[in-house]
Amino acid sequence: MEKAIRRYWPVFVLPTLIAFIIGFVWPFIWGAGLSFCKFTTVKNVQFVGLSNYAMIWSDNTFTHAFWFTAAFTVVSTLLINVLAFAIALLLTRGMHGTNAFRTIFFLPNLIGGIVLGYIWSMIFDGILIKYNTSVILETKYGFWGLVILVCWQQIGYMMIIYIAGMQSLPTDVLEAASVDGANGTQTMFKIIIPLMMPSITVCSFLCVTNGFKLYDQNLALTNGAPSNMSEGLAMNITRTFYGRMGWEGVGQAKAVLFFILVAIVALIQNKLTTSKEVEA
């Protein structure tokens, strides 16, 4: 069997590798190159150096979108992880109907972001109309509306990861802590959370990257209203590239900068959480 794998591994690896290069690597390299050019089509390209990157910082909509997205990512990451961890903790205590609750909490993750955006838009507007306002009329409502929407969508998915981590906790360590007289708070913060750090690392990474990549929910719920004040980075980049004539190169430069920012933030977050991991 091992000899067969060594002999025929290209048959299984090469198709996927070729698809990855065509679908991801080559477009990224091409896009990075276009970020240094002024163009309207890929056949009408003029090299302009770093001027596209310089124009990014003169665009106030980009800096506002960055801070809006950063604030949203921090808040949503904290809420999703805390609530998902708490729900997972409850569902691993042997309560009745655990499987049904897991399914119910996970279902929102199966619904598309566009659909969720329109559903929650109607819910929020149905409440806010009593106060003569709307989710698209004030930035604070758009911000917290997006936080609630994304939390409702992603908590169930993170909950599954936390449940898997909790079910793999060594029972002998927990029993030893109980015998030694550790109370619930001590067991939680001294044993359970340190042993759960691998799961926390995964969930935090997913929340951070999803927060920065937010687009479809943002489009359906607020569409950047009012006056692009609830516009995330992904939406700002898309509107720059497709909605501003002559700014295609700037939009491409924003996309490259966006990739670098997300990569740096994700690596820092991953480093911080993995440094807290311990072995039982």
pTM: 0.89
Measured CA angle at 260 (ends 258, 261), to 5 deg: 65
Could you tell me the CA-to-CA distances from 64 to 4, 221, 233 in Å, in that order?
A: 56, 18, 9
Domain ranges of the chain: 2-51, 52-274
Length of the chain: 280
Does 280 have pLDDT greater than 60?
Answer: no
Residue 16 identity = T
In tens, the pLDDT along 197-243 reads 999 999 999 999 999 999 999 999 999 999 899 999 999 999 999 98
User: Looking at the domain covering 52-274, what would its CATH class be?
Assistant: mainly alpha
Name the one residue in this structure whose structure tokens are 């279902």.
107
CA distance 252 to 103: 40
In tens, the pLDDT along 259-273 reads 999 899 888 988 888
